[in-house]
Amino acid sequence: MISHTKTIGRKIADKLLKTTYTSSGFYYRVDLLKEFFEEVLFVVPRRNLTIREQISEFLKRRGENQTLIDSFLDILEEEYDAITKNTLYPTIEAAKKQMENIPTFILYVPREFTDEETDRIGQWVRRNIAPDLILSLRINPESVGGCMFFWRGVYHDFSFSHFFKKHTEKISSSIKKAYEH
């Protein structure tokens, strides 16, 4: 049973990662799946609703959008019957454990982004940096006017603040010269 739950957990993680670009988004979706199955398995007995109806009803009650509903349906249509009271928690843990194997691209940004902006950044990063990474967004107001990121053990700073500090002497000198004339 252990290897079976790991396999299902890996499948769930792989499917979630197709439409999830951030580590926080991934964990949020895994926790939503856990809540859904806790409700279905422990609280509300499975009614005469289709899988599609059950997941749609559950996610709509939480204010989720159709994209997330479709993503969950893709996962659940294949894995729904394999998750039971005995396999739920080991399966969820196996899905979360998959994150340990995924390279993380840490991006420091000056403000929080909308889900749409985050998805666009995630898509760009996967297309241009590596197709199998996960994005970890961190808020840092000093990254304004550029960005800062950490990838493969190396920190890169392309922020305005960094370049301003780096060239303060030249900037001050230029300003002084301009006022002297």
Mean pLDDT by 10 residues, the chain (181 residues): 80 88 92 91 76 85 83 80 89 91 89 90 93 90 76 79 70 76 65
pLDDT score, position 51? 79
On whether the CB atoms of residues 103 and 130 are closer than 8 A, the answer is yes
> Position of tokens 């580590």?
23
pLDDT score, position 45? 66
pLDDT score, position 91? 92
pTM metric for this prediction:
0.78
pLDDT score, position 1? 53
53: Cα separation from own chain's centroid = 25
pLDDT score, position 135? 92
pLDDT score, position 133? 92
Dihedral of the CA atoms 169, 156, 136, 142 (nearest 10)? 0
pLDDT score, position 99? 87
Backbone angles phi, psi at 109, to 5 degrees: -130, 155
Distances (CA, A) of 96 to 57, 76, 103, 158: 25, 17, 14, 32
